[in-house]
């Protein structure tokens, strides 16, 4: 029971972060556009990535789409982490690691409302 409560809190945190970051990308906030532009991504590409990030975060809420949502979230994090590594930006890469770990822990603990 305690693990389900902990996982629920982790899922809500991941949802918050996914929507917050996704909205920053989707709405074209200057820091996001600046970061992605150094990797050659234009505003429309960043907006699409933001929409995908928001969708992934929302999918994590439902038991049937839980794994798909986590996969989308983790893929987005790996996408950004790979660009940081390509720039030899270990600090930026290190910032992404806890969020990747969060997705993996949430998957391991399973959805709190699943029947497993």
- What is residue 1's predicted lDDT score, i.e. its pLDDT? 85
| pLDDT on residue 116 | 62
The Cα-based distances of 52 to 4, 42, 75, 86, 100 in angstroms read 27, 16, 10, 22, 16
Whether 110 contacts 116, CB under 8 Å: yes
| Low-confidence residues in the chain, pLDDT < 50 | none
Alpha carbons 32 and 27: distance in angstroms, whole number:
9
> Any idea which residue has 């982490």 for tokens?
81
Are the beta carbons of 60 and 106 closer than 8 angstroms? yes
Residue 34's nearest CA partner among 46, 23, 50 is 46
State residue 113's pLDDT score.
87
Assessment of whether the complete model's pTM goes beyond 0.85: yes
């Amino acid at each position: 029971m305690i693990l389900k409560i902990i996982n629920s809190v982790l899922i809500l945190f991941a949802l918050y972060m996914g929507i917050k970051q996704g909205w920053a990308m989707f709405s074209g906030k200057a820091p996001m556009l600046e970061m992605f532009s150094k990797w050659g991504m234009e505003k429309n590409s960043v907006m699409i990535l933001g929409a995908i990030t928001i969708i992934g975060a929302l999918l994590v809420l439902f038991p049937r789409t839980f794994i798909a949502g986590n996969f989308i979230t983790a893929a987005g994090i790996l996408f950004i982490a790979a660009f940081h590594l390509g720039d030899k930006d270990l600090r930026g890469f290190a910032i992404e690691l806890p969020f990747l770990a969060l997705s993996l822990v949430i998957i391991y603990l399973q959805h709190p409302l699943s029947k497993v």
